[in-house]
Amino acid sequence: MALNDRLDYFGGTVSLAARLENQSRGGDIVLSAPMAAEPGMADALAPPQPAAEAMVKGFAEPIALHRTPARG
């Protein structure tokens, strides 16, 4: 698979996870909107803030994401 005209050994999912990690402000969990919509996720996460979009390196379109406070 090629990403930004380079060979990508890990795939888009791993790249997206790394980029979403960089969106964290600290004390929060950032996940993609599709992951937040998976069955059971609403019960596992604290109430998420409204969905947002962010431009992340390696992706041409903004990525829809959810941010939720980390449970202590």
Q: Please give the pLDDT value at position 62.
A: 92
Q: Which residues of 46-59 are buried (b: 16+ CB within 10 A; e: fewer)?
A: eebeeeeeeebeee
Classify 69 as helix, strand or coil: strand
Q: What pTM value is reported for the model?
A: 0.68
pLDDT tens for each residue of 13-39: 888 888 999 889 888 889 888 888 888
Q: What is the pLDDT of residues 43-58, one digit of tens each?
A: 877 676 677 899 988 8
Q: What are 56-70's pLDDT values in tens digits?
A: 888 889 999 988 888
What would the two tokens of residue 33 be? 């909107």
